[in-house]
Amino acid sequence: MVFRRRVVVTGLGVVSPLGIGKEKLQKNIIAGKSGIKPITRFDASLYPCKLAGEVRDFDPLNYVSEREANRTERCSRFALAAAQMAMEDAGMTEKDIEPEKTATSFGTTIGGLGFSLEQYDSMIEKGPLYIHPHTSSMILPNSLSSYVAIAWNAQGPSKTFSSACTSSFDAISYGFDLIKAGRADVVLAGGSETPLFPMFFSSLSLSKILSERGQDNGRTPRPFDAERDGTILSEGAGVLILEDYHRSMARGAKIYAEIIGYGFSCDAYRIRAPHPEARGIREAMQRALLSSKINPEKIDYIQAHGTGTKIGDVLETQAIKELFGQHAYRVKVSAIKSMLGHLMGACGVVELCASLICLSAGMVPPTINYEHRDPQCDLDYVSNMARRAKVDYFMANCFGFGGKNGALILENVDSSI
């Protein structure tokens, strides 16, 4: 008998401003807590925005040896930690995988750029021989998938994607395709980002992308709220274990959901502005529905990109209404960035981890800081409190610089058995 290959999520690991590990993240997301606090990583006194989503109390030695910690920078350490937690959550060790049929697929916007700038400063201050001897390998975005592959002896395809905020969705869709095509049975797919350093923070401040609420910690960003004024920059990592469905069933694995399709598009408009008619956003979601072979009315919940920017939230709402028609008003929509901030290339997978662990508890994540209705943003944003609900199908959105747009569709496996 020839089985149709299906792709399921059997494990997840997360490093986030709301906690390290799925238990802390689930507890804080369902409680509607914010991980946004005053910046401590550098002096932010001269910036209009003085807030960020920092990962606190992270000790890399809980996940890697001291030797490996000295050869990796923060972005890769986050990826290694999330990968270890995901494998443990999936109930797998290195002995449980076939190296040639195990792949690694990661996304990041800037990789080790922050560490690169630190080494440059050291070189200028002290001389050309005073930089870390492993700098050349540590700063490469490619190092994310490589370090994780080495840690787990994953000898299958290994890729790193850099496509702004959709990077981790590119990584997940690539892993999906590998399993569908029979080129892998297990894929460690995710993303990691550590953008909290002065140069990058300055550039986003000058672009007027960040909220300027100053010390208003816990009450910004405000996705879909009429008084939203920008997003908040954050760091973190997330990893999903993607696995062939029949393999997972044979080993008695728990399953969070099945990935049934995806869609991507490019606005081909401007680098820092989405198409004013939400053309690419709508097209990505439509392609995801076509890929999944389901009607829009099947979608119960949308994990929105929801950054809290004036234009972005209106366009995402507009695209949902145009694609879903009247059903748009029946779909539950959550903007998880209201609690986590914006993790750039890792935002998609970290928010997906949050959705999956909340939905597994029968809860839909809330959109916190929603206090003032915007007539242009008039959907059901699950405001301020998590909501108990049964979700059979849900869509996850990610959009980024350069007009990059991505959407994934997942199904509750119980509804397909």
**Residues annotated as part of the active site:** 165
| The token pair that represents 42 in the structure block | 């550098």
Q: Per this entry, what is the length of the chain?
A: 417
| The token pair that represents 273 in the structure block | 């502005």
Residue 188, helix vs strand vs coil: strand
Helix axes 22-30, 347-359, angle to 10 degrees: 80
Phi and psi dihedrals of 192, rounded to 5?
A: -145, 145
Helix axes 310-324, 279-292, angle to 10 degrees: 40
Amino acid at 292: S
Task: Please tell me the distance from the alpha carbon of residue 347 to that of residue 341, in angstroms, as a whole number.
Answer: 9
**Do β-strands 393-400 and 301-303 pair in parallel, antiparallel, or remain unpaired?**
parallel
Q: Quickly tell me which residue has 């001389």 as its tokens.
A: 127
| The token pair that represents 310 in the structure block | 């004036």
Distance from the Cα of residue 136 to its chain's centroid: 26
CB distance 28 to 280 below 8 Å: no
Extract the runs of DSSP E, i.e. beta strands, from 363-403: 363-364, 387-388, 393-400
Task: Please tell me the distance from the alpha carbon of residue 354 to that of residue 33, in angstroms, as a whole number.
Answer: 13
Torsion 16-22-27-29 (CA) sign: positive
CB atoms within 10 A of CB 409: 24
